[in-house]
Amino acid sequence: MIMMDLRDILRDILGSYRVQFLMLRRQCTVPEAAALDFLFRDHLYESFDYTAFAANIMALVPEDNVIDYKDDFGLHYLVFRGRDTEEGAFAFFGPFTYRAYGEDDYQRLVSRHALPADSIDAIRWYFKRIPVIQDYLSWQHMLTSLLARYLANPDLEIKPVSYDHPAVLRQSPLFSFSSIPYTTVEARYAVEDAMLAAIRRGDISEAIYQQNLFMGFTLDQRLEDPLQDAKYMIIAVNTAYRKAIEQAAVHPLYIDAISGRFVVEIEKAETMDQLQSLIPKMIRHYCLLVQKHSLERYSGPIRDCLNYIDFHYMEPLSLESLAARFVINKNYLSSRFHKEVGMTVTDYINKTRVQHSEELLGKKNLSMQAIAEQCGFSDANYFTRTFKKINGLSPNEFRKSLTAHP
């Protein structure tokens, strides 16, 4: 369990650096291995063998240690063997570089790989999406410390391994260097799709990881004012997020409230830093909304009932009234509701009302009778009994606990 926790921490750290995290087995498929360089060689060479490329790297990895593999394009990968549930797999952190590449580097790569002179634009475009680790010593120290625990090897060291000889491969006759920017765009959309899928599931960690990878892609500026251009982009992101959780069957009223709030925050932002800090905040809030209010797993009739209860909990509600409102047989609704929700209609109504009462109990000026009425309970005594049955303490005791723990 600890190993898995460390792996998740490593993955989150990599995301913050925009470095890809891959787990590959020796028998991995070509599409899986092709992710190692984002399909760059697939367009460059005819029938490039990605599985052999991955297997050759894996063969260099010691049992309980890590290599820093530098390939023939100067791209780095940290590679080590998986543990526990990942036994038999290898972890790849990369690609990345330790310095920013410039025009001399691009020219050198074109020459070393005997590429046509007009390929330099494609090389330049490709390296724009490769993250650069600026502080080599801090990066190595941090990962050495974490990986030593992950691999249970206190003497771990990251060993550099370089492949200095460019592969002698046949250039693809169908290759077009102009296709690389389009391939990059396709990859960007794939990362965006993965990010939105994570938001739809309410998976905060995965969504932030994918978002960090997405930020590694170079996006063309569309407006002259960079701040306004960034606002335009984040408003589009906000729209994409709201569409994602709409697919998770979160009620539009919840979505509209949070989406509208973020539009205001985007418009009020005065610096690029303020705008950038909004993105992880938006992801967390949208994911939490999914975790709390997604009804995707419920059937249509039950979803209708749940939404109605959530928004009309203060009104008189019962199994009979819901069955009549949605024209459903009462017995069928009772059975279906219990099967899908795991409790009776009455218990869900009371649970919803009690949850809303907890917020009101923080307001000392409200009496128990007033809180009971605002939450749909017939009287304060019934409210007290129901509250204690659900929470194990009375409303007064709950209110005192709020005072004791502000």
248 vs 295: CA distance, rounded Å: 7
CATH number of 300-404: 1.10.10.60
pLDDT value at residue 183 = 53
Structure tokens that stand for 87 in this block:
């036994």
Q: Is the peptide bond before 252 cis (omega within 30 degrees of 0)?
A: no
The tokens of 19 are what? 């470095």
Residue 323: its pLDDT value, please?
Answer: 95
Report pLDDT for 255.
Answer: 93
Residues of the chain with pLDDT under 50: 1-4, 173-175, 181-182, 406
pLDDT of residue 174: 47
pLDDT reported for residue 374:
94
Residues 196-210 have pLDDT tens digits of 999 999 998 889 888
Please tell me the distance from the alpha carbon of residue 232 to that of residue 196, in angstroms, as a whole number. Answer: 19
Q: Are 94 and 78 in contact (CB under 8 A)?
A: yes
Helix, strand or coil, per DSSP, at residue 78: strand
Specify the pLDDT at position 267: 92
- pLDDT at position 223 is 67
Q: In this structure, are residues 216 and 132 in contact, taking their beta carbons and an 8 Å threshold?
A: no
Q: What is the pLDDT of residue 202?
A: 93
For the entire predicted model, the pTM comes to: 0.66
Spans of all domains in the chain: 2-177, 186-293, 300-404
